[in-house]
A and B are shown apart, each in its own frame.
Chain A
Amino acid sequence: MKKLFTKIVGVSLSVLLIASALSGCAGGKDGADKNLNTKNTAAMGRYLEEEVKPPEGTKAILSMVKQTEGGIRIAVSDMKNKNSIWDSKDGGTTWTKAFDLPKEVEKVSLFNANIAISPTGEIAVVTEETGTEQSPLSYRYWTVGNDGKAQEFKIELPEMPEFQMEGGASAAGSQSVVIDDAAAKETGESEKLSETTESDKEVNLEGRISNGIGRMRFTKDGKLLAQDYMGVLYMIDIKTGELIYTFGGDDSNTNGAGYSGYIMGFQAVGNTLIVLTDSEVQLYDISTGKKMDKDKALNDQLIKSSNTGEDGAIIMGASGPFAADSGKDENSIFICNSDGMYSHAIGGNLVEQVINGALNSLGNPSFYLMDMAALDDGTFLVSGAEGQNIHKLYRYKYSKDAPATPSTEIKLYSINDCPELRQAIAIFQKQNPDMCVTLEVGVSGGDAVTVSDALRTLNTNILAGKGPDIMVLDGMPINSYMEKGLLADLSETLKNAGVDTQIFENIKKPYEKDKKIMALPIRFAIPLVQGKKEFVDDITNLDTFAAQVEKLKKENPSQKYILGEKDPKELVDLFYPESSPSWIKEDGTLEQAKLTEFYTSLKKLYDSEEHVDNGGVETMMVASASGGLSFSNYLNMSMGMWPLIDESAFLNAGILTSGFEFAYMNGVNKGLGDYTSKIMNGQSENVFIPITTMGISSKSANPEAASKFIGYLFSKEGQTINQGSGLPVNKEAFDVEMDLNDELVEDNVLSFKQKSGKEISVKIDRPNESELKVVKDWIGSLNTAALTDDVIKAAVEEQAQQCLTGEITAEQAAKSVIQKVNLYLSE
């Protein structure tokens, strides 16, 4: 009996052991999927976004604050840069002008961040006086009461340390910074150094720069919280200008002691000051200035919501750090950032998401969050800027009839992140509240995942039936996916969306196989060469390009650069797209002779330039790579135009990616006189570079929804979303792209003095008819898509380094590439 009992126990334990070991294999969808797919039992109720019209004639929203007496007050500027204050008692539906900002405040330019509204309606304004050679840039501080009258007050801020020029020397002489607003907006360049003195905005760098207030907010009792240009945060009495508290350091009340991190943003909510530094969230009691206990839940949420770099530090995103407003209770607050809106009680353990930012404009990467107001009727108003110059005001209103989460999910996969795609997703979701588009990025850059690793994970998911509906095929084995039938035909999708005829035929054609389009880029770039007409005319292919550079170097031995300093990787990046299509033989393998020619030409180009260890370029390449573009920004034509202007190079080669760049290039050509631009052929002719190539998975769980999103991406509206990565493939959107905004062309004249003493001016203007014809002719001639195969490019790049620096010959480099690539192609 005892034996039998022992046996039963033994068998039972064995079964239990096996069962528990296997329990981990139980399938099942994650929570998110369950939510999205249980349409009939889905929870109802969600905040929906609607755009609110700001006061008539508004160009920019400067500040917005909920008023103690109810309603909201907003500061705006109009098309003529006139600033005014408006009130609304009905949550932004109607607006009543309170007053215009008085002349004392109007006479100098205002920056958006330099105006604050108190909960009782008082306004604080910082104005700037342009610096002269005798005295540096200075700032003046004003309050404007409800009667609209301005009164100046003084703030004694610590002086800025002496400005240091690069290399350690103090700023001196006639050096000045020319800030080219329009160029900066389009190209990402923030400033350009010039030796001339006259320009749109000029900041004297001689000696010391004045300290001033950069950002400010009011507390509920009318004290001003202001952060100076050194990053220190103060509480200021605007009546006396006295610095009441200096926040920071471990002891809450110190005199300019350093913070444990740089302040990314701050908000006063009730009696609490919330400070977001680059490493943590700090809370201060406004009435005492003392640092409060750490609010772990809030800290975790805001830190989690922010992008973090490799060292864990927060990186400032386009959407600003956060905005906050008080709730109905003393300690309750609402916090808003790019992840959405959250409700929290100061000191509490819970941070609850009220609005999901992924489903509206809050998650739009180009949306720059400014202010928010939590209104008494339960709605929220959020102000911000899209692309920094289109100001928007959104209302979030609870709808009990809307499903808590969208009923249809579209899964999108991309190896690299793509801000344009994120922006398109945000707008598409706004237009389709029943759909949710999630973008999964394979290589985030913050971990050790390689492209191969990401692809293997993607394939595992595809085979497990959990793959994406739509794929961004840049860097993926497109041909292999096509052969295996993983990609669905896009022809019907484009036809149903009514965009099939709107897409440039010759961009579409290389992707047509057996009357099917399995993949299609949403953007493209044109490789161009720019320079003196006599130099450019002789360039017809890579060989003649190299010969021309060699010839120019021989004729001008004192000229440091002909094409500009390019390292081996840059030269491959520049000439690989235009040359690689010619390397592929009919049997699919690579032609060694062509590859040898390629390396020989690149070697000539490399040897014609002087080379120094250039860490700067590397940094730029890394930065652009993290932006997720296949062809990094440093290849843009605009990056090489400055060397042409200052005569430090004779030729500029790169890719044309935007209408502004085309206008800039035309302006430079006209300004320099006998300069021209034309398509740059490598070993192949008329090549275009596809950017963000899209495909729909044939295994998609939601093919109709995926088609709808793809249709949107190729529509005129979807294609006008542009952050400068490439030209739209939609003809109508292309016309919009070329019809530059007034802001980009109005008074946009850049004046330069060349080394030879010749003064030139570059006027950036809308392309005229003949210029438009030129670019359209270029596009009309394009007929070959550049290879986007990362394996081939990586092998070519690897050998280029050794070949161009003379370690191996062109023949050896080509042989080595052939061996590796043919192996890859034969797989």
Chain B
Amino acid sequence: MKKNRKIKNLTNVKRKNKTEWAGLLFILPSLVGVSIFVLVPFLDVIRRSFTEAISGTWVGIDNYKTIFTNTAFQLAAGNTLRFVAVCIPLLIVLSLIIAVFLHRQARFGSLLKSAFLVPMAIPVASVVLLWKLLFDNHGILNGFLDSIGMTTIDWMNSKYAFWVLVFSYVWKNLGYDIVLWVAGLSGISENVYEAARVDGAGEWKCFIKITIPNLLPSLFTIAVLSFLNSFKVFREAYLVAGDYPDKSMYLLQHLLNNWFRDLSLDKMAAAAVVNAFVIFVLIMLLQKAWDREE
């Protein structure tokens, strides 16, 4: 009997190991690709962050010291953090509200969902053109302000440039997040709501006690994707305002782009390592929070 149990345990361990190996095989092609195109080059970036750009001489942490005392880096990092801190909560909350509203719209729900996805289908070049037409000093928005007797604003060369960037990001990504939220909402059984309503729970109570807790798994995915998408806003910013936009919308990507133009590979490498580290920590924190909730 004891022997049989032992054999059974051994078989289980074997099967478990076999399953793990099979899993590894599944991810192997993608792991090899990621290693070759991302991980190994990133190791080289880490190495370069401790050397001089052209000569390759070892300089220790000098490059890190340089970037942390560099005012352009401080400004760009600050702006990027500010942008993320403003945009992500704004986008998540706004998209959730609209998603809940759309989820309840039986008649026009899918039509409106598609409408919110339209900005994603517009090519960047067209978005940029639209942006220029709207926010230029002699653009449509200023034309409107002028026509109603208000003072015009140089949107792209003032502190408002940051908010133009925020608006652009939210406008473009709202539809995507709505779809993700709606997918999460569809997974919540209607029976739960009905049971709660029978017990006397109101709409707000249902939202707080049923909808939100059930959407927490989606929150992690949406937050990470929104965070990663926030880096893509640079395309529009660069195409509209070039290498040196107003300082309120001068992001880390601007700085890295300009450093590359000036062949400052050493500073770039150090900044990239710091950047990657911050992103990694943020995602780990998010994951930890999510795990705790689960």
Residues on A facing B (Cβ under 8 Å): 14, 17-18, 21-22, 25, 452, 455-456, 459, 462-463, 477, 480-481, 484-486, 698-699, 791, 795, 802, 807, 816, 819-821, 823-824, 826-827
Are the C-beta atoms of B261 and A459 separated by less than 8 Å?
A: yes
Question: Considering only CB atoms, which chain B residue lies closest to A11 in the complex?
Answer: B25
In residues 141-163 of chain B, which contact A (Cβ within 8 Å)? 157
Say yes or no: is B52 at the interface (Cβ < 8 Å to chain A): yes
A348 CB → nearest B CB, Å = 43
Question: Considering only CB atoms, which chain B residue lies closest to A10 in the complex?
Answer: B25
Complex CA gap A115/B205 in Å reads: 99
**Stretch of B4-12, B184-192, B262-270, B277-285 at the chain-chain interface:** B262-270
Residues in B neighbouring A25, C-beta threshold 8 A:
36
Are the C-beta atoms of B247 and A823 separated by less than 8 Å?
A: yes
In residues 251-267 of chain B, which contact A (Cβ within 8 Å)? 255, 257-265
Complex CA gap A763/B145 in Å reads: 60
Known: A455-B261, A827-B255. 10 other contacts (CB 8 A): A17-B29, A18-B33, A477-B263, A480-B262, A484-B264, A821-B244, A823-B250, A824-B244, A827-B72, A827-B258
Say yes or no: is B130 at the interface (Cβ < 8 Å to chain A): no
Question: Considering only CB atoms, which chain B residue lies closest to A808 in the complex?
Answer: B154
Are the C-beta atoms of B244 and A456 separated by less than 8 Å?
A: no
Complex CA gap A456/B262 in Å reads: 8
- Which of A17, A459, A820, A824 is within 8 Å of B263, CB to CB? A459
Are the C-beta atoms of A823 and B53 separated by less than 8 Å?
A: no
Are the C-beta atoms of B33 and A452 separated by less than 8 Å?
A: no
Can you give 29 A-B contacts (C-beta < 8 A)?
A14-B29, A18-B29, A18-B32, A25-B36, A455-B261, A456-B261, A459-B261, A459-B263, A462-B263, A463-B263, A480-B264, A481-B263, A484-B52, A484-B53, A484-B263, A486-B54, A791-B243, A819-B246, A820-B244, A824-B243, A824-B244, A826-B71, A826-B72, A827-B70, A827-B72, A827-B255, A827-B258, A827-B262, A827-B264
Question: Considering only CB atoms, which chain A residue lies closest to B55 in the complex?
Answer: A485
- Which of A462, A477, A795, A823 is within 8 Å of B72, CB to CB? A823
Q: A21-B33, A22-B36, A816-B157 known; A486 and B72 CB under 8 Å? A: no
Say yes or no: is B128 at the interface (Cβ < 8 Å to chain A): no
Are the C-beta atoms of B244 and A826 separated by less than 8 Å?
A: no
Please provide the 4 A-B residue pairs with the shortest distance between their CB atoms, ordered closest to farther.
A480-B262, A827-B72, A820-B244, A826-B72
Question: Considering only CB atoms, which chain B residue lies closest to A825 in the complex?
Answer: B72
Complex CA gap A481/B257 in Å reads: 16
Interface residues as binary, B68-96 with A (CB distance below 8 Å gives 1, 0 otherwise): 00111001000000000000000000000
Complex CA gap A819/B161 in Å reads: 14
Residues in B neighbouring A826, C-beta threshold 8 A:
70-72
In residues 210-247 of chain B, which contact A (Cβ within 8 Å)? 243-244, 246-247
Residues in A neighbouring B55, C-beta threshold 8 A:
485
Say yes or no: is B112 at the interface (Cβ < 8 Å to chain A): no
Residues in A neighbouring B52, C-beta threshold 8 A:
484-485
Residues in B neighbouring A698, C-beta threshold 8 A:
54
In residues 46-62 of chain B, which contact A (Cβ within 8 Å)? 52-55
Complex CA gap A480/B262 in Å reads: 6
Residues in A neighbouring B260, C-beta threshold 8 A:
456, 459
Complex CA gap A25/B36 in Å reads: 10
Are the C-beta atoms of A827 and B259 separated by less than 8 Å?
A: yes
Name the residue among B257, B259, B260 with the largest chain A CB count within 10 angstroms.
B260
Complex CA gap A451/B145 in Å reads: 36
Residues in B neighbouring A452, C-beta threshold 8 A:
243, 257, 261
Residues in B neighbouring A795, C-beta threshold 8 A:
244
- Name A's interface SS: helix
Q: A816-B157, A826-B71 known; A477 and B261 CB under 8 Å? A: yes
Say yes or no: is B118 at the interface (Cβ < 8 Å to chain A): no
Complex CA gap A22/B32 in Å reads: 10
Q: A22-B36, A485-B55 known; A823 and B244 CB under 8 Å? A: yes
Residues in A neighbouring B183, C-beta threshold 8 A:
none
Complex CA gap A660/B113 in Å reads: 71
Residues in A neighbouring B70, C-beta threshold 8 A:
826-827
Say yes or no: is B276 at the interface (Cβ < 8 Å to chain A): no
Residues on B facing A (Cβ under 8 Å): 28-29, 32-33, 36, 52-55, 70-72, 75, 137, 157, 243-244, 246-247, 250, 255, 257-265
Question: Considering only CB atoms, which chain A residue lies closest to B245 in the complex?
Answer: A820
Residues in A neighbouring B261, C-beta threshold 8 A:
452, 455-456, 459, 477
Complex CA gap A21/B263 in Å reads: 30
Complex CA gap A485/B255 in Å reads: 21
Residues in A neighbouring B32, C-beta threshold 8 A:
18
Complex CA gap A802/B52 in Å reads: 42
B39 CB → nearest A CB, Å = 15
Question: Considering only CB atoms, which chain B residue lies closest to A21 in the complex?
Answer: B33
Q: A791-B243, A823-B247 known; A699 and B54 CB under 8 Å? A: yes
Name the residue among A481, A791, A826, A827 with the largest chain B CB count within 10 angstroms.
A827
Complex CA gap A807/B247 in Å reads: 21
Complex CA gap A21/B265 in Å reads: 28
Complex CA gap A485/B262 in Å reads: 12
Question: Considering only CB atoms, which chain B residue lies closest to A451 in the complex?
Answer: B261
Complex CA gap A21/B70 in Å reads: 41
Are the C-beta atoms of B54 and A485 separated by less than 8 Å?
A: yes
Residues in B neighbouring A820, C-beta threshold 8 A:
244, 247
Residues in A neighbouring B258, C-beta threshold 8 A:
824, 827
Question: Considering only CB atoms, which chain A residue lies closest to B264 in the complex?
Answer: A480
Are the C-beta atoms of B54 and A791 separated by less than 8 Å?
A: no
Residues in B neighbouring A484, C-beta threshold 8 A:
52-54, 263-264
Are the C-beta atoms of B244 and A791 separated by less than 8 Å?
A: yes
Residues in A neighbouring B247, C-beta threshold 8 A:
819-820, 823
B258 CB → nearest A CB, Å = 6
A8 CB → nearest B CB, Å = 13
A595 CB → nearest B CB, Å = 16
Complex CA gap A17/B29 in Å reads: 9
Name the residue among A14, A486, A807, A820 with the largest chain B CB count within 10 angstroms.
A820
A107 CB → nearest B CB, Å = 63
Residues in A neighbouring B259, C-beta threshold 8 A:
827
Complex CA gap A456/B265 in Å reads: 11
Residues in A neighbouring B54, C-beta threshold 8 A:
484-486, 698-699
Complex CA gap A638/B274 in Å reads: 56
Complex CA gap A25/B137 in Å reads: 46
Residues in B neighbouring A480, C-beta threshold 8 A:
262-264
Complex CA gap A21/B37 in Å reads: 11
Name the residue among B71, B72, B246, B261 with the largest chain A CB count within 10 angstroms.
B261
Residues in A neighbouring B250, C-beta threshold 8 A:
823
Are the C-beta atoms of A477 and B29 separated by less than 8 Å?
A: no
Residues in A neighbouring B255, C-beta threshold 8 A:
827
Residues in A neighbouring B28, C-beta threshold 8 A:
14
Residues in A neighbouring B72, C-beta threshold 8 A:
823, 826-827
Complex CA gap A486/B263 in Å reads: 9
Residues in A neighbouring B265, C-beta threshold 8 A:
459, 463
Complex CA gap A455/B261 in Å reads: 6
Are the C-beta atoms of A823 and B75 separated by less than 8 Å?
A: yes
Question: Considering only CB atoms, which chain A residue lies closest to B53 in the complex?
Answer: A484
Complex CA gap A821/B244 in Å reads: 8
Residues in A neighbouring B257, C-beta threshold 8 A:
452, 456
Residues in B neighbouring A791, C-beta threshold 8 A:
243-244
Question: Considering only CB atoms, which chain B residue lies closest to A450 in the complex?
Answer: B242
Question: Considering only CB atoms, which chain B residue lies closest to A460 in the complex?
Answer: B260
Residues in B neighbouring A486, C-beta threshold 8 A:
54, 263
Name the residue among B33, B55, B244, B265 with the largest chain A CB count within 10 angstroms.
B244
B51 CB → nearest A CB, Å = 12
Name the residue among B28, B257, B259, B263 with the largest chain A CB count within 10 angstroms.
B263
B236 CB → nearest A CB, Å = 17
A501 CB → nearest B CB, Å = 31
A541 CB → nearest B CB, Å = 29
Residues in B neighbouring A463, C-beta threshold 8 A:
263, 265
Question: Considering only CB atoms, which chain B residue lies closest to A822 in the complex?
Answer: B71
Complex CA gap A819/B255 in Å reads: 15
B22 CB → nearest A CB, Å = 11
